Homo-oligomer: A and B are copies of this chain.
Amino acid sequence: MSSTTGTLFKVTTFGESHGKGVGAVIDGCPPRIYLSESDVQIQLDRRRPGQSDLTTDRNEEDRVRILSGVENGQTLGTPIALLVDNRDHQPIDYKNTSDIPRPSHADYTYKIKYGINAASGGGRASARETVARVAAGAIAEKFLLETYGISIVAWVSAVGNVIAPEMGGDVSRSQVEISSTRCPEPETAEQIKVQIRQAREESDSVGGIITCICKNMPVGLGEPVFDKTEARLAQAMLSIPAAKGFEVGSGFAGAAMRGSTHNDLFIKKGNYLGTHTNFSGGIQGGITNGEPILFKVAFKPPATINKQQNTVDYNGRNVILKAKGRHDPCVVPRAVPIVESMTALVLADMALCQMVKR
What is the interface of chain A, defined by CB distance below 8 A to chain B? 1-5, 7-8, 10, 12-16, 18-23, 25, 27-28, 30-33, 65, 67-69, 71-72, 76-81, 83, 101, 103-106, 108-110, 112-116, 120-125, 129, 147, 158-161, 199, 202, 204-209, 219-220, 223-228, 230-239, 241, 243-252, 254-260, 262-268, 273, 275, 279-281, 283-289, 298-305, 307, 309-312, 314, 316, 351-353, 355-358
Does A30 lie within 8 Å of B254, measured CB to CB?
A: no
* Residue of B202, B260, B284 touching A307 (CB-CB under 8 A): B260
Could you tell me the distance in whole angstroms from the C-beta of A343 to the nearest C-beta in chain B?
Answer: 14
Smallest CB–CB gap between A270 and chain B, Å?
9
Q: Is the CB of B3 within 8 A of A14?
A: no
- Supposing A124-B224, A124-B225, A125-B224 touch, asked if A255 and B76 sit within 8 A by C-beta, the answer is no
A23-B108 contact in complex given A234-B237, A238-B231, C-beta closer than 8 Å? no
Instruction: Known pairs A110-B224, A225-B239; list 15 more (Cβ under 8 Å).
Output: A12-B27, A14-B68, A20-B67, A72-B120, A106-B224, A202-B258, A204-B260, A245-B252, A247-B298, A254-B301, A255-B298, A255-B300, A265-B309, A268-B316, A279-B300
Determine the distance from Cα of A12 to Cα of B25 in the docked complex, in whole angstroms.
8
Contact A287 B109 (CB under 8 A): yes
Q: Which B residues lie within 8 Å of A266 (CB)?
A: 101, 103, 108, 311-312
User: How many copies of the chain does the oligomer comprise?
Assistant: 4
A259 to chain B, nearest CB (A): 3
Closest chain B residue, CB of each to CB of A228: B239
| 28 contacting pairs across A/B (C-beta < 8 A) | A1-B7, A1-B353, A2-B225, A3-B225, A3-B226, A4-B226, A10-B12, A21-B68, A25-B25, A32-B114, A33-B358, A101-B266, A109-B283, A112-B287, A206-B257, A206-B258, A226-B236, A230-B238, A231-B238, A232-B235, A234-B238, A244-B250, A245-B245, A245-B251, A245-B252, A262-B300, A265-B309, A268-B312
Chain B residue nearest to A296 (CB atoms) is B252
Q: Which listed residue, B10, B129, B233, B263, touches A104 by the CB 8 Å rule?
A: B263
**Bound CA span A69–B230, Å:** 24
Establish whether residues B71 and A121, one from each chain, have CB atoms under 8 Å apart when the complex forms: yes
> Do A124 and B8 have beta carbons less than 8 Å apart?
no
6 closest A-B pairs (Cβ-Cβ)?
Answer: A106-B285, A268-B316, A76-B121, A205-B259, A245-B247, A235-B235
State whether A257 touches B30 (Cβ < 8 A): no
Whether A289 pairs with B109 at a CB distance below 8 angstroms is yes
Could you say which of B19, B265, B279 contacts A68, with CB atoms under 8 Å apart? Answer: B19
- Inter-chain contacts of A7 with B (CB < 8 A): 1, 7-8
The distance in angstroms between the C-alpha atoms of A24 and B27, with both chains bound, is: 12
